[in-house]
Chains A and B, each alone.
Chain A
Amino acid sequence: MTDTLWIFIGGVTILAMQVFSDLRRGPYYFDLISEQIYQIGIRSLPLIFLTALSIGMVMSLQFGLGLEKFGGKLYVPKLMAATIIREIGPVFTSLMMAARVGAGIASEIGSMVVTQQIDAIKALGTSPIRKIVIPRVIACLLSIPILVAFANIVGMAGGLIIGSTELGLDPNYYLLKTLSTLSMADYITGFFKAIFFSLFISLPSCYYGLNVTDGATGVGTATTRAVVTSSILILIGDFFLSKLFWIIQKWG
């Protein structure tokens, strides 16, 4: 178990170093990057829309029901805004992306390893890091923060729908309270979390994909490991990042 952990940490660190070293040098495959942005970002929009909307609606309902007992229903917009922007938006979007994109990346690259396509990329004088890994990492870095922003808006819209229809809050009041609660620091915190979570998804998924052994079984194992590892990294990373931003805000 400890060996596997160290091998993973070492492997992902080496992969990250190769990615950043190759990123400085080029060449850059913009067509591959745009294709991955479409696959990772645009094609995830319906999934993120549905999950963000339902989470926003459920949270608003739960907050409303809970706070109603203490006469605190009016605090629902404030609570919703802070929770979604700082935590729920980045974390849930990233977890959904880990499941959809992390699994996709690991299985696609894993299948390419099994069918010797990764070897063929090398044998034809090109680099799988530049051709396969970098486009996926960049696509995640560009798409996930935008998807998080989209999820934040949809989640808060879900909260607004429930707030106005079920909890009897005035929509204008809800909007006003939402906007007045949020500060620039909240947006920045959510944005930077999304950047880190993009790396937590793309790098382990590429690593597991590139290190597939044992054919089809190995592809399945790599896919499971990619999703589990990315999810754990997101959840543990969220705590440390929240703590870090909290310290930074206190200093500021």
Chain B
Amino acid sequence: MIKVSNFSKKFGNKIVHKDINFHVRKGECLGLIGGSGTGKSVILRSIIGLETPDTGTVVVNDQTINQLSEIELIKIRQKVAYVFQGGALFDSLNVFDNLAYALKEHTSLSESEIISRIQSTLTQFGLYDSFNIMPSQLSGGMQKRVGLARAVIMNPEVLLYDEPTAGLDPFNTKRIQDLILRLKGTGVTSILVTHDMPVALEVCDRLALVLRGEIVEEMTPKEFYNSPNALMHKFIHGESF
């Protein structure tokens, strides 16, 4: 479903990734973990074509993303959704219009069908009374949930989560975690970039530790937690590498 091979990327003189290789099978959830600034989000952004690798390939559904034009990417992006860290809601549009954005753009649904789809999605995400609220009036947790709702409203095949629980209180973290688990249950393939180890251990099928521009370990959450590898141990317990 998703295959990243020999991926390298540098910004200016700073080498962010030297040689990243991983794959995600259909319906699977891969957790990308690692310290801040290790370029996990860069990998995620490359999967949807928001960044281009310097070398290597990013393949999604048998299509090499880094060889596609912007117009070809538009079609891919209808099936691959990205959940931004801060929600990235359009601040000039209310919650309804934020959710209606992709539906109006890519579907031929009538106005009433769009309203009903948005109503049911907002209800699922516990936001049924937020229809006309502007993003600036929402709390951080609500913004993240609206961002997640906007990402899933087109029923994507792939979901890319960029730190969906960062900065949230335990209650909202649990809420987002449950939503991710529910979406995973529908068979969506996903990649979760996070620092939140309890969420990663709960949600992901496999975890990959990104360090110094490479994936140094890749294993199941159980193996990860019980790993004798000192790096894993240090990461879980918040010690310096």
Contacts and interface: CB of A to CB of B under 8 A. Distances in A.
Interface string B78-108: 1001101110111100000000011001100
A249 interface: no
Contact of B74 (A116, A119, A125): A125
B70 interface: yes
A125 B88 CA distance: 15
A117 interface: yes
Given A115-B86, A116-B86, A116-B88, A123 B74 contact: no
Contacts of A117: 88-91
A123 B74 CA distance: 8
B91 A125 contact: no
Given A125-B75, A125-B78, A125-B106, A120 B88 contact: yes
Q: Chain B at the A interface: mostly helix, strand, loop or mixed?
A: mixed
A126 B78 CA distance: 9
Given A125-B105, A125-B106, A120 B84 contact: yes
A164 B48 CA distance: 67
Interface residues of A, number: 11
B174 interface: no
Contact of A122 (B50, B85, B105, B106): B50
B70 A124 contact: no
Interface residues of B, number: 24
Contacts of A242: none
A126 B98 CA distance: 13
A120 B99 CA distance: 12
Contacts of A211: none
A11 to B, nearest CB: 16
A125 B74 CA distance: 4
A127 interface: yes
A126 B105 contact: yes
B182 interface: no
Contacts of A122: 48-50, 73, 77
Given A119-B45, A120-B89, A123-B81, 18 more contacts: A115-B86, A115-B88, A116-B86, A117-B90, A119-B88, A120-B82, A120-B84, A120-B88, A122-B48, A122-B77, A123-B48, A123-B77, A123-B82, A124-B150, A125-B105, A126-B74, A126-B101, A126-B102
